[in-house]
Homo-oligomer: A and B are copies of this chain.
Amino acid sequence: MKRATFLSCAFALTLLTSFTFIMQKKKIVFFGDSITEAAVKPGGYITRIGELASKENMSSKYDLVGAGISGNKIYDLYLRLESDVLSVNPDVVIIFVGVNDVWHKRTHGTGTDPDKFEKFYSAVIRKLQEKNIKVVLCTPAAIGEKTDFSNELDGDLNQYSNIIRSLAKKSNVPVIDLRQTFLDYNKKFNTDNKEAGILTSDRVHLNEKGNQVVADEMWKIIKSL
């Protein structure tokens, strides 16, 4: 009988462990543009977050899912929210968008009006929160790394970053302020006022260091949720 008890206890323990394990594994979707599309590759920021989790023996706690598509603006995220995000039942969605909303004004004539940016962004947040999904916002890091605000689109990128910061406050969700992080880093290390090569390869897309900086910032928030 003792043995039977022991066995059933062990079984219960296993069950409990599995159950706990399953319950605690958080599915985190990274929802964004080409920067996020590249982030699941070796060296990408999502891959690096996985490595950071691993180092702290927390791999089993997180399911990290990339949902980035090149060229996406906020209304592209809105249009594929159901099919690409809600459909996988995430616990947390980290939204990292904004570069193309500004950039495409110059390169395609199809950027996003600031007020529409805010409306579609609000709608995405609301739809996620309605499903009890935790939302984390990010400001767009850079289109050019010069630190004297003489990158062509700095003004507009600052404007849209302000919109995102204000949305985070209104929606009471955390914001990872990558724009500020990148500026601070460049002020320290980009003393020649170069437009690329510090955290980006081409003014926009992340190089190794850039991916690590983004991973570090995101990991801090992810652990805290």
Binding site secondary structure of chain A: helix
Number of copies: 4
A105 within 8 A of B: yes
Task: Knowing A105-B109, A106-B109 are in contact, say whether A158-B153 is a contact too (CB < 8 A).
Answer: no
A202 within 8 A of B: no
Which residues A132-170 have CB closer than 8 A to chain B? 144, 148-159, 161-162
Q: Interface-forming stretch among A22-30, A39-47, A89-97, A110-118?
A: A110-118
CB-defined contacts of A104 to chain B, threshold 8 Å: 109
**How many chain-A residues does the 8 Å CB contact rule pick out?**
31
A79 within 8 A of B: yes
CB-defined contacts of A79 to chain B, threshold 8 Å: 116, 119-120
CB-defined contacts of A151 to chain B, threshold 8 Å: 155, 159
CB-defined contacts of A152 to chain B, threshold 8 Å: 155-156, 159
Q: Complex formed: what's the CA distance from A22 to B155 in Å?
A: 48
A75 within 8 A of B: yes
CB-defined contacts of A120 to chain B, threshold 8 Å: 75, 79
A108 within 8 A of B: yes
Could you tell me the distance in whole angstroms from the C-beta of A34 to the nearest C-beta in chain B? Answer: 16
Could you tell me the distance in whole angstroms from the C-beta of A59 to the nearest C-beta in chain B? Answer: 38
B162 and A158 form a contact (CB under 8 A): no
Which residues of A come within 8 Å of B, CB atoms? 75-76, 79, 104-113, 116, 119-120, 144, 148-159, 161-162
Q: Can you sample 13 A-B contacts with CB below 8 Å?
A: A75-B116, A79-B116, A104-B109, A105-B106, A106-B108, A107-B108, A108-B113, A109-B109, A109-B111, A110-B110, A110-B112, A151-B155, A155-B155
